Amino acid sequence: MFPAIFLDRDGVLIENQANYVRDWSQVEVFPEAIVALSDPKLDTYKIVVVTNQSAVGRGIISIETAISINDRLVGVVRDRSGRLDNAYICPHSPDDDCDCRKPKPGLLLQAAEEMSLDLKRSWMIGDAWSDVEAGHAAGVRGTIIIKTGRGEEQLSLSRPKGNGNYFICNNLSHALKTILEFDNVD
């Protein structure tokens, strides 16, 4: 079984869009994210995107479009020598009460089962409290909230009850370095 680093998409890898990312032309990849994902020290981890895409459940975009955006993002990161091993989408709206919409752990649990991941040695990085909550609910080793995307705004809000310990990092690069230091990866 492999340890994983789970990443939220919007606000971690790409810029958030106020009215949802509706097509590839709206995707603005954080350049530092691609550089960070090219660190060979990450080779011992599976890198997995787990993203809520309620625009699908709200009828704003199709599931095919959402999958296409994720597939293209994975391709761009790989083409620039970064690494993403897989991407999982929750297509439901907040009202659907599904098991895969973060803060519930369904996407992480699905990825763990399908990719033979060891959640107890894995990490969750996101820009929202729901990401931290999903990580804790899945039983990952550690969670990190980053200040990009909605992170600064989320940190100004009250922390949800029941969240365990977590790290605060400036961006994805800082978060990945924190993980490598904490896990003592040379």
- On the CB side of 25, CA atoms within 13 Å amount to 0
In this structure, what is the dihedral angle of CA atoms 119, 146, 179, 103, given to the nearest 10 degrees? -10
Residues 109, 9: Cα–Cα separation, whole Å: 17
Would you please indicate which residues are annotated as catalytic (active-site) residues? 8, 10
How open is the CA angle 117-183-107, to the nearest 5 degrees? 30
Residues 12, 6: Cα–Cα separation, whole Å: 11
Residues paired with residue 113 on neighbouring β-strands, in sequence order: none
In this structure, what is the dihedral angle of CA atoms 89, 73, 17, 157, given to the nearest 10 degrees? 60
Residues 92, 160: Cα–Cα separation, whole Å: 22
Cα 76 to its chain centre, rounded Å, is 16
